[in-house]
Structure 1
């Protein structure tokens, strides 16, 4: 049988751990366990088990409800090959070496090693009533993370004041100083409903980088946790890891 599908670029990767499989899929050569986005499994081989993550205690449950980081997780364990994807978004691999943390928009987390520590933190200056989705996942330690972006991202070197839409900012160095800037000036036009559509902007200062995707995620309610797509859901990163990573 002949087909372009049998070309080397379509063949399964053979390395262990979290790897890219083409541009829009992630392969995990598993001999142990990994945390992954619930519902992201597209195929697997071998002897693997899938466990939905719980709320991780009342403290984690409350934090998840307040932040709206409703990103459901699953823990996959066993021996075999696991293939993950999220709506054909582009997949990127980031290795943390322990020298700096990485802040990631919860909607862009696809999979990560259990060796990494995790928390949810609010962007400095973001009010609790804001619907800009300004709570994000902070990873520290040594390990690998697979993230997704809608389209090809740009990586901005932060060596001068840098600003990004809260829903377009995918990830950034945790050592950066962050804040929230309001762009729309309050006046008659604002009262009449006229707006630029860019009401809130994230600001970044210091030395590091910011990954910005070519699309804006729908805003998430910071109180109710209601969003669209896989940003909405019960459990999630805010409370799911309490029993396992703390």
Structure 2
């Protein structure tokens, strides 16, 4: 059905409490945060809210000089805002699909541009990739989160999780790589033989190689994020 009366449209699209807790998927592409305290969210992701909520840009030295130095390399993709108060907060990012994880002491790396929101109590840090400036435009940094709490990340369309087993490394396109388990340390490799098919603007194919035991999440889309600066 493509035509609705106003009442039919409201019934079909109106907000409904699902009782899922702090983070709730209102739709596949809109995250409802039932705020009672404080959370961190991607700068510019707020689309609506009700109640008494205060928004603050992440302070320059709020998380220490080390993170400030790292952020100088990562551009705007890692900018966070703090939401404090009580009410319902709705966040989204360019219509991308949202996944919620409830970390139970585990750790996970999430591409900096795909991190949407996370609970205050989680430990987090920005991790820069190896020196590949000029080889690729996206995936320049990622965020490692660990502890007890909820985190939401985004992907273009449905994400696919690939299991990594000892002796059987998994290779991914950096621009299609969304997240991976916290125990994995990917390395960048090149394959000149594949330059005819991949390696846009680089002359050779840049791949992420995951070895060991864990998982990696990819999306069916090459997301090119233009970041300022170089890597360290």
TM-score class, shorter: 0.7 to 0.9
C-alpha separation between the residues in 2 aligned to 1:67 and 1:131? 16
TM-score, length-normalised on structure 1?
A: 0.79
The residue that corresponds to 1:5 in the other structure is 10
C-alpha separation between the residues in 2 aligned to 1:36 and 1:207? 30
TM-score, length-normalised on structure 2?
A: 0.83
8 Å contact kept, 2:76–2:227? no
The residue that corresponds to 1:180 in the other structure is 188
1:61 to 60, 68, 87: 68
Aligned Cα RMSD in Å?
2.5
C-alpha separation between the residues in 1 aligned to 2:171 and 2:76? 22
The residue that corresponds to 1:218 in the other structure is 224
- C-alpha change, 1:130 and 1:174, in structure 2 (3 Å) is farther
8 Å contact kept, 2:41–2:116? yes
1:31 to 30, 36, 42: 36
Query: What's the CA shift for 1:184?
Result: 1.8
8 Å contact kept, 1:14–1:29? no
List aligned pairs for 1:103-122, cutoff 5 A.
103-122=109-128
Tell me which moved more, 138-147 or 215-224: 215-224
**Would you tell me which structure has more strand in proportion to its own residues?**
2
Query: What's the CA shift for 1:223?
Result: 2.6
- C-alpha change, 1:209 and 1:195, in structure 2 (3 Å) is closer
Query: What's the CA shift for 1:221?
Result: 4.5
The residue that corresponds to 1:138 in the other structure is 144
Query: What's the CA shift for 1:195?
Result: 6.8
- C-alpha change, 1:152 and 1:37, in structure 2 (3 Å) is same
List aligned pairs for 1:201-212, cutoff 5 A.
201-212=207-218
Aligned residues: 216
List aligned pairs for 1:86-125, cutoff 5 A.
86-98=93-105, 100-123=106-129
Gaps of 5+ in 2: 1-5
The residue that corresponds to 1:47 in the other structure is 52
